[in-house]
Amino acid sequence: MSQPDLFVVCKNCQAEVSPYITECPYCGQRLRKRAPKIERGEEKPRRARRRPRSLGRLRRGEIPGIAPDTRPYATIALIAVSLGATVALSTRHVSTYDLGGIFGPLHGDWWRLVAAPFVHDNAGYQVVTMVSVGVFGTALERRFGWYVPLFVFLAAGAAGAALAVAAQTWPTFGANGAALALVTAWLVEYRLARNDGDADLIGAGVFAAVLCLLSAVWPPASIAAAVGGAAVGSVAGFALAQR
């Protein structure tokens, strides 16, 4: 790029004047019709301004700046199926065996492994398990998505029931193993990935202890099902912590 002249000489008075003026300041002689353009060097291209993201309209009950909690539909569905089985049992038209309770060898009735965790014949037993499912299923669902509590509950419930069948701890039904899996999955993931406090860990430990004690208080809450559920929940919690 050519450099501009430092000065020019007036042809009338021979004075050195600035190259960026049109008339000589000494004699008034006109030097040029237009002043030359001042070169400022190469300018960097301007970046296009990014338009700020705009949020949609607030729904009823939402607060600006705070993300709303989504409803835990999968957890609600698990509890609803269990309550539906209890309502059906209260009609006395069906029995715990008809709904999926395990009272001996399966003899090919593998569907009982999935159905047994939804069957309860005692209100206290069901309250403890469903409260555990509601609390820790909701926590997992809001953190990872609807499929996590659903998969953990079904996989742990089936694994616990299968282990109870193998150990011949009959009768076996109820969600103590599946609920313990949700508690254990949340506890392991929390301990490995976050671990930002001890209060929540104490609460989870209380839930886990109560679910284990159910096996000693109520025979259908098989200790083998609890062990199987805790094992599946631990593996699930470790897998979730890797995310």
Provide CB contacts within 8 A for 218, sequence distance 6+. 122, 125, 174
pLDDT digits (tens, 9 = 90+) for 22-47: 777 777 677 776 666 666 555 556 66
Extract the residue ranges of the chain whose pLDDT is less than 50.
Answer: 1, 65-67
C-beta of residue 237 within 8 angstroms of C-beta of residue 186: yes
Nearest to 124 by CA among 204, 214, 36, 195: 214
Residues of the chain within CATH 1.20.1540.10 domain(s) are 73-242
Q: Return the sign of the alpha-carbon dihedral for residues 84, 85, 88, 89.
A: negative
pLDDT of residue 10: 75
pTM above 0.75, yes or no: no
CA distance linking residue 215 with residue 100, whole number of Å: 19
> Could you give the angle at which helices 147-167 and 123-144 cross, rounded to 10 degrees?
140
Please tell me the predicted confidence (pLDDT) of residue 69.
Answer: 61
pLDDT at residue 18, rounded to an integer: 76
**Eight-class DSSP state of 39:** P
pLDDT in tens, 47-93: 666 665 555 565 555 555 444 567 899 999 999 999 999 999 999 99
Total count of residues recorded for the chain: 243
Return the closest-CA partner of residue 148 out of 79, 236, 211, 231: 236
CATH match of 73-242 with 1.20.1540.10: yes
pLDDT of residue 153: 98
